[in-house]
């Protein structure tokens, strides 16, 4: 089947969610990486829990709730202004270094983002990082009032860009999202940003496992859900060659 | 409204999921607590992800999948027999020390379990620990093919014991489950097994935050989902007095 469109997850895939660590560290010296890991883990937990409870709130609200949970749990004091400054980083996340070149080299295909992010925060993010002009669509799950990996979220691809699942390559570094796409019927490329070998080396001494390592172990590996991706790639830069071989 | 029934979550509420740590430590010296924390966090993640993907598998299968994910991610080698021995601990989890006495002192009310566990693993667990005779019902979400906090799971209470949500006290130490029960319309008592003060003390030096502390921060606090429980209690032993005041 020919690939006519490449659809990217945003947070963790094109954009580095770890880039909030500088802001959290500046606000709470010594706690930057701990906040960053708990916040991100909880942020996704809340998307799943709110979806299951049928109590959707926007990803912007979920991002705020999960940050509040994190800071309060760690016993950290903050002003509303300090809190707002941290959350605002989600409108200015760093692109992965290879993201723009990969998008540029795929410009002969339909390119889109499908993200949990609310439409306004996603639009701000792609505009702030100069990615807006490279995309045919910047799709938020917002209109479905449910988050990935619900099939309803992936329905939005065909509904927005008119390409059938069999002709879409969905790209995500989030194991759960790669599984969700695969379960739905998309072709899936999973970005393995932390190799098995690197992780095994990092956990060799269990006494040194801190929040960052735990995050890698929890959220940067493929899930054991029997929904294996079609392709495993090390970086976005591998996509043009992979699609070239396929088409 | 009078409380006519008390319904308990099983894993983490009546039964100590941390009691698998002895078995995991015996199988993988030095890794016991790391395995225990990642396994439990991932086990629940998989219930949420499978529910959202509409790919239900029994909690027994999810428990196996999440253990496999954990051991493989940590680079640990194991035989099928060693693996089976660890998983089997879920049929023999330790009761919390105050569980039986609390159940006995509430015997004038309808008592039940509502759990994600598959029916066979739940039945084995309550039988192995002598709790079976104290319960009016031992309810698994299995028949709904979806996990908590889906409203369909909580529907099972009235369907099985014939008591309306307004007359049920639902007891859970899992923040997400307390929120799910509250969202559904049950009266909810959340067991706060790790106090804010104790957690704040434990995270005072961020350099020492390992898997156990992270688990407490991630999963043993109330969620910031604006679904506050009706009661916060420190242990199961507080239930008789609490219900006495209420009725």
DSSP B10: T
Contact B201, A22 (CB under 8 A): no
Residues A134, A102 within the same domain: yes
Residues A85, A122 within the same domain: no
User: Which residue, A91, A126, A151, sits at the end of a domain?
Assistant: A91
What are the pLDDT digits (tens) for B56-107? 999 999 999 999 999 999 999 999 999 999 999 999 999 999 999 999 999 9
Residues A125, A185 within the same domain: yes
Residues B61, B132 within the same domain: no
Structural domain total, chain B: 2
User: Which residue, B91, B109, B141, sits at the end of a domain?
Assistant: B91
Contact yes or no for A217 and B180 at CB 8 A: no
Residues B48, B167 within the same domain: no
Question: Residue B148 maps to which CATH number?
Answer: 3.40.50.1000
List of chain B residues whose C-beta atoms are within 8 Å of the C-beta of residue A221? 69, 73
pLDDT score, position B1: 80
pLDDT score, position B30: 95
Contact A95, A14 (CB under 8 A): yes
Question: Residue A66 maps to which CATH number?
Answer: 1.10.150.240
pLDDT at A1 over 90: no
Question: Which residue range forms the structural domain that includes residue A127?
Answer: 5-17+92-246
Q: What is the mean pLDDT of residues A70-89?
A: 96
- Please state, in angstroms and rounded to a whole number, the distance separating the CA atoms of residues A124 and A115: 13
Integer angstrom CA distances of residue A184 from B1, B146, B162:
45, 18, 38
Residue A246 confidence class, pLDDT cut points 50, 70, 90: confident
Residue A206 confidence class, pLDDT cut points 50, 70, 90: confident
Residues A40, A71 within the same domain: yes
Within B7-91, residue ranges assigned H as helices are 21-27, 32-52, 59-73, 80-88
Among B75, B147, B211, the residue with its CB nearest the CB of A209 is B211
pLDDT score, position A207: 86
Does the beta carbon of B181 lie under 8 angstroms from any beta carbon of chain A?
Answer: no
Residues B160, B114 within the same domain: yes
User: Which residue, A91, A121, A149, sits at the end of a domain?
Assistant: A91
Residues A138, A160 within the same domain: yes
Among A69, A179, A221, the residue with its CB nearest the CB of B73 is A221
What are the pLDDT digits (tens) for A22-58? 999 999 999 999 999 999 999 999 999 999 999 999 9
For chain B, give the mean pLDDT.
97
Residue from A180, A176, A186 nearest A223 by CA: A176
Contact A65, B224 (CB under 8 A): yes
Q: What is the mean pLDDT of residues B170-188?
A: 98
Mutate to test the interface with A, among B25, B35, B204, B206 (most CBs of A within 10 A): B206
Residues A117, A128 within the same domain: yes
pLDDT score, position A134: 97
pLDDT score, position A208: 87
pTM for the model stands at 0.98
Q: Backbone phi, then psi, for A227, in 5-degree steps?
A: -130, 70
Residues B171, B76 within the same domain: no
Residue from A119, A143, A138, A120 nearest A14 by CA: A138
Residues B65, B125 within the same domain: no
pLDDT at A133 over 90: yes
ipTM for this prediction? 0.97
Query: From the candidates A9, A132, A205, A228, which is the catalytic residue?
Result: A9
Residue B207 confidence class, pLDDT cut points 50, 70, 90: confident
Integer angstrom CA distances of residue B117 from A113, A164, B100, B145, B221:
37, 38, 20, 11, 22
Residues A61, A13 within the same domain: no
What are the pLDDT digits (tens) for A167-204? 999 999 999 999 999 999 999 999 999 999 999 999 99
Residue B246 confidence class, pLDDT cut points 50, 70, 90: confident
For chain A, give the mean pLDDT.
97
What are the pLDDT digits (tens) for A145-166? 999 999 999 999 999 999 999 9
């Amino acid at each position: 089947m020919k690939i006519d469109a490449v659809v990217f997850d945003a947070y963790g895939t094109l954009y580095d969610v770890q880039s909030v660590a500088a802001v959290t560290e500046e606000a709470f010296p010594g706690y930057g990486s701990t906040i960053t890991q708990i916040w991100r883990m909880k942020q996704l937990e809340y998307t799943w829990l709110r979806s299951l409870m049928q109590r959707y709130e926007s990803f912007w609200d979920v991002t705020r709730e999960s940050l509040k949970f994190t800071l309060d749990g760690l016993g950290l004091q903050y002003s509303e202004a300090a809190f707002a400054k941290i959350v605002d980083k989600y409108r200015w996340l760093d692109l992965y270094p290879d993201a723009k070149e990969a998008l540029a080299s795929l410009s002969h295909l339909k390119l889109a983002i499908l993200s949990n992010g609310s439409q306004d925060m996603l639009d701000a993010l792609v505009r702030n990082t100069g990615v807006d002009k490279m995309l045919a669509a910047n799709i938020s799950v917002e209109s479905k009032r449910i988050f990935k990996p619900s099939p309803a979220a992936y329905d939005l691809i065909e509904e927005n860009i008119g390409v059938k699942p069999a002709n879409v390559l969905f790209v995500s570094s989030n194991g759960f999202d790669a599984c969700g796409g695969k379960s739905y019927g998309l072709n899936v490329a999973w970005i393995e940003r932390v190799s098995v070998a690197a992780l095994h080396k990092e956990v060799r001494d269990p006494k040194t496992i801190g929040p960052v390592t735990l995050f890698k172990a929890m959220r940067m590996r493929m899930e054991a859900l029997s929904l294996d991706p079609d392709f495993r790639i090390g970086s976005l830069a591998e996509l043009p060659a992979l699609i070239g071989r396929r088409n």
